[in-house]
Structure 1
């Protein structure tokens, strides 16, 4: 079997109906994996799964901020396929708040940002770990952000939550080895509409100030996630930056 083949593997992508999630699902499916794409509504999840290359794929509903929902999803996928090999956490949420506007970043928003961008990823790993461990070769990939390194992003709490994902990879990479590898993929600006209010003008300005002179595409992030599952098999507990050199500026 080719080292790049994922035939017989089962991958679950939380946030699978978003730009990065769907691009990753397509990429993994093209390599032979059975892919579960999750969303917040059945229709969108089923439609996303139906768009993947031919294979044994599923759409499913899950709430990244609801541990019971994640536990149920893990059981449902394991029952359907009999195994789970890869968990990809692409689900997230943010809102643009100027860093100097301390009052605008109130307690409720901070709690929501951490629940969706850190606690939910940990809860998903906790729910899926027994299934990933069972095969002795499990993989978790969290999608972070260079905001966690640069402190520049949509708001201060979002930056902090993404920094938390980086250190989570270090902690769990150590704690879950050797049966489960844990990696982060950390993009810069990506053309997905994830951050409300970012338009073509913002993207053009970001491209001019990025060393490789363009912003990221969802496929760039998907390619890095695929590498985690295929060629980077001796890596765990670390963060792979895919930002066109943006954090160098």
Structure 2
């Protein structure tokens, strides 16, 4: 799929991987709708970068855990830009809880992470898919994690929620075919603000990786755009971890 003039909705598009994906999509010719929950200044600065480079972008606030807000946002994006062709389901949260500390993985933590990381992605996919089906062509990329493959991560609830994202990808790929392709990228360690305060652990990991590097948000953004472009690929989980899971 040629991304030129396609309308792309990026959730959590103001920071980290979402920000890099928003900027890269615009550089490939897409019109970008950046949604955020709390990071308004970051989202608006990404919009300024895109518009300053001659692209088209706008920022919108919505809580992906509230289906009514998601539906309203999809309507606003369609009203402003005419439709929704692409969705990057990036918005996620985590809690850093030692894997062995089962008591701290409380019901509230489980509910929060599942609400954003899984149910929020489903709500956004549902809202976008209704527009994509009218065009008989669309693509979705969900942002998972190698935590969902290995069971190890910042916490048990996070790892399990990302495994659910991988399952959601396969289910949606079947449910929305043939008009809409749905894939997932599963990054390993990426140099984003999630590592703030834990830089030493991130740097220590480098020596254990076959490629001897931590991925950048721009690395993952390039993969996301490529998955959106590939018309013969759906239901796939693409691991991008510098060889960590080899």
Q: Determine whether 1:21 maps to 2:18.
A: yes
Q: Report the equivalent of 1:207.
A: 206
Query: Which residue in the other structure is 2:56 paired with?
Result: 56
Per-residue CA deviations over 1:197-242 (Å, capped at 9, x if unaligned) read: 422x111111111111111110111010010122x22000111111
Q: In 2, Cα distance between the equivalents of 1:46 and 1:196?
A: 22
Change in CA separation of 1:204 and 1:195 when aligned onto 2, cut-off 3 Å: closer
Taking a change above 3 Å as real, the CA distance of residues 105 and 115 of structure 1, as seen in their structure-2 partners, is same
TM-score under structure 1 length normalisation? 0.94
**CA displacement 1:62-108 (0-9 Å, x = unmatched):** 11222111111100011111111000011110011011111111111
Deviations 1:85-141, CA, capped at 9 Å, x for gaps: 000011110011011111111111111011111110011111111011111111111
| Alpha-carbon separation, structure 1, partners of 2:100 and 2:31 | 45
Structure 1 residue 172: Cα displacement: 0.9
Higher mean displacement: 216-225 or 63-72: 63-72
Aligned-pair distance for 1:43?
Answer: 4.0
Counterpart in the other structure of 2:228: 229
Q: Which runs of 4+ in 1 moved over 3 A?
A: 41-44
Report the alpha carbon displacement of residue 40 of structure 1 after superposing the two structures with TM: 2.3
Distance 2:15 2:41 in 1: 14
What is the alpha-carbon root mean square deviation over aligned residues?
A: 1.3
Cα gap change, 1:158/1:104 in structure 2, threshold over 3 Å: closer, same or farther?
A: same
Q: Does 1:160 align with 2:160?
A: yes
**C-alpha separation between the residues in 1 aligned to 2:34 and 2:106?**
32
Q: How many residues align?
A: 243
Of 43, 46, 52, which aligns to 2:44? 46
For residues 5-33 of structure 1, the C-alpha deviation after alignment (integer angstroms, 9 at most, x for no partner) is 42220001000001111111111111111
SS at match of 1:194: helix
TM-score with structure 2 setting the length = 0.95
Residues 36 and 61, structure 2, Cα contact 8 Å, conserved in 1 = yes
In 2, Cα distance between equivalents of 1:150 and 1:196: 23
Does residue 172 in structure 1 map to residue 172 in structure 2?
A: yes
Tell me, what secondary structure is at the counterpart of 2:245? Answer: helix
Give, in angstroms, the shift of residue 195 of structure 1.
4.9
Contact 1:95 1:196 in 2 (8 A): no
Local SS of the residue matching 2:8: strand
Residues 45, 61 of structure 1: 8 Å contact kept: no
Structure 1 stretches lacking a partner, 5+ long: none
CA contact (8 A) 1:97 1:105 kept: yes
Aligned position for 2:217: 218
Aligned ranges for residues 1-249 of structure 1 at < 5 Å?
5-41=2-38, 42-52=40-50, 53-195=53-195, 197-199=197-199, 201-230=200-229, 232-248=230-246
